[in-house]
């Protein structure tokens, strides 16, 4: 086909073609909190196509009007940093329909196919299926779509699936095979909302659009990297789900390994979906797979007990609703990863995540090697005081997005006394506009067919391969949980893990 000669990518907004969006799990939390508010916001910014229609599915019987009312309330409650425009909602809800039915019943897909067909003129036959259900429903839905011939049509067909992509390497592989039996890999969009965060995307801009960082971005200058994703909340009513997954599966296997890949990957030759994803996948394949005997020294599991936060007594994990009082679930996980390639050989990547920690924060700290001589120390033979204050480049992902560089500076006044100072870049002070939420970015990308920020089969399986030995080892252990108090930065064993290399966790 001849290319469109009238395009001007420098100036034209990216267009999303007309399409239908089918949300499975349309009555669920994710749809209410994230998906519908994101679609509404895209409509608010006129980023939705001229012809679009949204079908919501779940088992609950509801009319279109009831569903619209429910979603309106959700948008009003969960829309982030944006006013609710009642007139726009009236327009938006005209494209919102509810199609209840049992996803295990093949007849449901015939009904769906007929409804989609009715909309072909409006949507050009393009359909995005969004699986916002529990993972056990992925297979029946994808199978049902395949049997009803919905994976192919007049336009494009894409399927977005939410994590978890399996619960271990074998199940992830099996799920991938099931998905690929119906949809080609290029039509499967595995969503990892961390990759949709502006600040995570900005890591690539900082690294590859500036000349000053990349020469230092290697084992010669970087001493270690710390990635922290701390949550102050507990399991918030999701105890039943959480005790089956745990922190390693819930956060590190997907989000944090993707963040680590973004920090450590090589530059791609071009900024195109598969080129970028090839580099992320290559990095993930370079992460050293731990041997069973290494796991105890390089990975720490934790579970919070009760504790006081801000004067309030917080229950321990085992006291949370729906949680087994003897649960062995990790609500905290810390792992030392190594990347076995020329750039990173020997540099530890410390990755930690936990619930009921002192505050909600996600950041990446790149710790540089210290100056070779402690020139300004009064006693430069012992203590090496300044070594405790190495240069740090901190990329803050949430809540206060920005970048800081810590370095030593002379204290004003007599003598050569040094103290660390911080040079800060704050997103808010350079970009006054609202930052789109990760779901806005990712939904728009999926509708436009841009998979750069979505994970691919090989990336998912590579990251499972990395955590699998840790999961296996932990499953064979009986931990003395709880091992950290609610409101603290995790178990002592985690500090000890870093101390073996002379490092310590920074306090974010």
Q: Residue 115 and residue 92: Cα distance in Å, rounded?
A: 19
Q: Interface residues for another protein in 1-20 (CB under 8 A)?
A: 1-2, 4-8, 10-13, 15, 17
Q: Residue 352 and residue 362: Cα distance in Å, rounded?
A: 10
Q: Interface residues for another protein in 423-482 (CB under 8 A)?
A: 426, 428-434
From the list 191-199, 255-263, 422-430, 497-505, the region that binds another protein by CB under 8 A is: 422-430
Closest CB to another protein among residues 10, 480: 10
- Does the annotation count 385 as an active-site position? no
Q: Residue 424 and residue 427: Cα distance in Å, rounded?
A: 10
From the list 77-85, 240-248, 331-339, 499-507, the region that binds another protein by CB under 8 A is: 77-85
Least gap, CB of 236 to another protein (angstroms):
22
Q: Residue 463 and residue 242: Cα distance in Å, rounded?
A: 20
Coil, helix or strand for 99? coil
Q: Residue 42 and residue 49: Cα distance in Å, rounded?
A: 10
Strands 307-309 and 312-314: antiparallel
Closest CB to another protein among residues 4, 381: 4
How many of the chain's residues bind another protein (CB under 8 A)?
25
Least gap, CB of 208 to another protein (angstroms):
16
Q: Interface with another protein includes 360 (CB under 8 A)?
A: no
Q: In the set 45, 80, 120, 458, which binds another protein (CB under 8 A)?
A: 80
Which two structure tokens, joined as six digits, stand for 285?
């394949």
Q: Interface with another protein includes 86 (CB under 8 A)?
A: no
Q: In the set 28, 45, 82, 458, which binds another protein (CB under 8 A)?
A: 82
Q: In the set 61, 81, 215, 382, which binds another protein (CB under 8 A)?
A: 81
x/- string (CB under 8 A) for another protein, residues 20-59?
A: ----------------------------------------
The 8-class DSSP code of residue 265 comes to: P
- Strand ranges, E, within 277-331: 299-302, 304-305, 307-309, 312-314
Q: Residue 433 and residue 428: Cα distance in Å, rounded?
A: 8
Least gap, CB of 375 to another protein (angstroms):
29
The 8-class DSSP code of residue 339 comes to: B
Q: Interface with another protein includes 83 (CB under 8 A)?
A: yes
Determine contact, residues 366/383, Cβ cutoff 8 Å.
no
Least gap, CB of 271 to another protein (angstroms):
16
x/- string (CB under 8 A) for another protein, residues 385-414?
A: ------------------------------
Closest CB to another protein among residues 94, 426: 426
Least gap, CB of 1 to another protein (angstroms):
6
SS (H, E, C) 17-62: CCEEEEEECCCCHHHHHHHHHHHHHHHHCCCCCCCEEEEEECCCCC
Q: What is the largest CA-CA distance in the chain?
A: 83
Least gap, CB of 44 to another protein (angstroms):
12
Q: Residue 505 and residue 508: Cα distance in Å, rounded?
A: 9
Per the listing, tokens 């370095």 go with 407
Q: At what angle do helices 64-78 and 86-93 cross, to 10 degrees?
A: 140
- Active-site pick, 173, 193, 255, 503: 255
Closest CB to another protein among residues 44, 481: 44
Question: What does the DSSP assignment read for 120-141?
Answer: HHHHTT-EEEEE-S-GGGHHHH
**Sites of contact with another protein (CB under 8 A):** 1-2, 4-8, 10-13, 15, 17, 80-83, 426, 428-434
Residues with catalytic roles: 255
């Amino acid at each position: 086909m001849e290319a469109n000669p009238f395009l001007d990518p420098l100036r034209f907004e990216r267009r999303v073609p007309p399409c239908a969006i089918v949300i499975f799990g349309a009555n669920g939390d994710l749809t209410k909190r994230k998906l519908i508010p994101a679609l509404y916001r895209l409509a608010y910014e006129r980023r939705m196509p001229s012809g679009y229609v949204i079908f919501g599915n779940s088992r609950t019987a509801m009319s279109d009007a009831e569903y619209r009312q429910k979603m309106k309330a959700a948008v009003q409650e969960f829309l982030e940093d944006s006013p609710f425009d009642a007139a726009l909602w009236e327009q938006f809800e005209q494209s919102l329909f509810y199609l209840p039915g049992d996803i295990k019943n093949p007849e449901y897909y015939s009904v769906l196919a007929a409804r989609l067909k009715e909309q072909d003129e409006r949507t050009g036959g393009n359909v995005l299926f969004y699986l916002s259900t529990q993972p056990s429903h992925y297979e029946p839905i994808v199978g049902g779509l395949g049997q009803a011939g919905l994976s192919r049509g007049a336009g494009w067909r894409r399927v977005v699936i939410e994590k978890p992509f399996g619960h271990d390497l074998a199940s992830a592989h099996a799920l991938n095979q099931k998905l690929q039996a119906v949809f080609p890999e290029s039509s499967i969009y595995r969503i990892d909302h961390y990759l949709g965060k502006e600040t995570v995307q900005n890591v690539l801009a900082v690294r590859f659009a500036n000349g000053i960082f990349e020469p230092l971005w290697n084992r010669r200058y970087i001493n270690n990297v710390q990635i922290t994703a701390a949550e102050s909340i507990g399991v918030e009513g999701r105890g039943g789900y959480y005790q089956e997954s745990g922190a390693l599966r819930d956060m590190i296997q997907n989000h944090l390994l993707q963040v680590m890949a973004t920090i450590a990957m090589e530059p791609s030759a071009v900024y195109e979906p598969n080129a970028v994803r090839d580099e992320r996948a290559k990095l993930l394949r370079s992460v050293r797979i731990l041997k069973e005997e290494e796991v105890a020294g390089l990975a720490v599991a934790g579970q919070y007990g009760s504790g006081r936060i801000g004067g309030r007594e917080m229950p321990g994990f085992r006291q949370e609703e729906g949680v087994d009082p003897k649960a062995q679930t990790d609500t905290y996980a810390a792992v030392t990863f190594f990347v076995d390639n020329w750039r990173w050989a020997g540099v530890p990547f410390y990755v930690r995540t936990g619930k009921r920690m002192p505050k909600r924060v996600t950041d990446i700290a790149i710790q540089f090697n210290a100056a070779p001589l402690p020139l300004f120390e009064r006693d430069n033979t012992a203590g090496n005081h300044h070594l405790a204050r190495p240069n740090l480049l901190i990329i803050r992902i949430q809540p206060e997005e920005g970048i800081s560089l810590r370095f030593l500076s002379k204290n004003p006044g007599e003598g050569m006394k040094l103290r660390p100072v911080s040079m800060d870049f704050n997103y808010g002070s350079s970009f006054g506009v609202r930052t789109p939420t990760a779901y806005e970015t990712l939904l728009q990308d999926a509708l436009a067919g841009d998979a750069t920020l979505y994970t691919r089969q090989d990336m998912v399986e590579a990251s499972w391969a990395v955590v699998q030995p840790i999961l296996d080892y932990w499953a064979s252990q009986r931990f003395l949980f709880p091992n950290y108090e609610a409101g603290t930065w995790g178990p002592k064993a985690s500090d000890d893990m870093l101390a073996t290399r002379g490092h310590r966790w920074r306090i974010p």
